[in-house]
A and B are shown apart, each in its own frame.
Chain A
């Protein structure tokens, strides 16, 4: 293993889950532009004066809708999330614990080369933390009061490093975009279903005969099936990306602290506090240090659990971190793993 520089590793890590995102985008493109292609085929044989579908309006509209939703949540997202958790901003540290948090965040800002994010405290006794904000200049880092009360300094450092890693890897931006795409796909799917249910029967069966033959029919059937499955498939894909980014944030965070054991200990402590974090809603789950709903799904490994969880199984994360700590102790080099 070569001792790649810290920054080269970050660079590589950032491109890790690209494949999954590419699949997601292709899927989205198929739904949008596939519809255009089908309409194009079905109008291709029409008389010259009739409508010919040349410009992919459906695909463009879907893209515009997704971009609009993403833009809207980029603009308002951070404030909304923080507001919904009833968090308050920590400006002047009053207690030793708050001072420690401020110090740890500043240390991690130095280690990661990021500007210092705004610090928020969520009034909740369950230990948890999350990061939000669209880019590194407008980043927010929130921790619960329970977290401050339970963790030691090293463990707190591990958790803060994990959240800073989310910021550094642009995970907030990525997951916001994916959430917008999931939303648009759900809309399209819903609209299609209603159309098939109510409007589909009238005048369609007869008029389409004598079109462009079997290709059109097959494409249409495949398209309708994918559209009906879209909400489920897209959500599963988004969850898969989310889990990849969790592992990545664990690894990047360890590169900041050079102390993977700190986060491993923190995760063990957080896991024993099984109570759900009530003040953090589902929408932010993918940015938390651990699933705020305390769903048991994250606890066990298994096919279904693996598909539906925002976070990888706790045991696996802890095991990976401990492995990293062991290797670092032996070789002085962190494993380059995402």
Chain B
């Protein structure tokens, strides 16, 4: 009887250690994924002044489009400084979504100036911009995947017993809450049959 009790206690302790370590490692992964987003956002924010300077001269009369981009960048920059996985993620997501929208408006305008597009510099910047947007999207995807894993584990039953011990708290996902931001207008000129 005594030995059985001892065995049960040993198994419980082993499980607690394992569960604790798993939660800690998930927390580490989540923070790491968050840092990735941070790096990519910084890249995006650093790129914008270059872009604005490159197009400024040629499009004096598109002032407000440029102004909107600069404004959105500054808002996003502030939101980034305040955001951590446990708070402010949604505000940052919102600000970045607005910046993305402003950038795509600028892109549409740039497309209307063939002589501007023809300079190699703009072509390079556009490629940089596309790549940066992709990087932000992919790091967001990776963050959401790990963060969901982390959140779900914290709430599932046997794991929820050790969340306090591991100081685990739910993290915010990177998503856009307001319905208006989600359904950006899509323009389909491909004439493909609708799926």
Contact = CB atoms under 8 A, between A and B. Distances in A.
Interface of A: 5-8, 96, 99-100, 103-104, 106-108, 110-111, 113, 153, 157, 256, 258, 326, 329-330
B120 to A, nearest CB: 8
Interface string B167-195: 00000000000000000000000000001
Most buried by A among B120, B128, B138: B138
A7 B131 contact: no
Interface residues of B, number: 20
A8 B149 CA distance: 10
B138 A96 contact: no
Contacts of A329: 195
B124 A99 contact: yes
Contact of B131 (A6, A106, A113): A106
A107 B148 CA distance: 22
A111 B131 contact: no
A108 B131 CA distance: 10
Given A107-B134, A110-B135, A111-B138, A7 B127 contact: no
B130 interface: yes
A99 B123 CA distance: 11
A111 B127 contact: no
A106 B39 CA distance: 13
Nearest to B149: A5
A197 to B, nearest CB: 59
B127 A107 contact: no
B195 A96 contact: no
Contacts of B127: 96, 99-100, 103
Given A96-B123, A96-B127, A258-B141, 5 more contacts: A7-B145, A99-B124, A99-B127, A110-B139, A113-B142
Contacts of A99: 124, 127
B36 interface: yes
A5 B148 contact: yes
The 6 closest A-B pairs by CB, nearest first: A103-B131, A111-B138, A110-B138, A6-B145, A107-B134, A5-B149
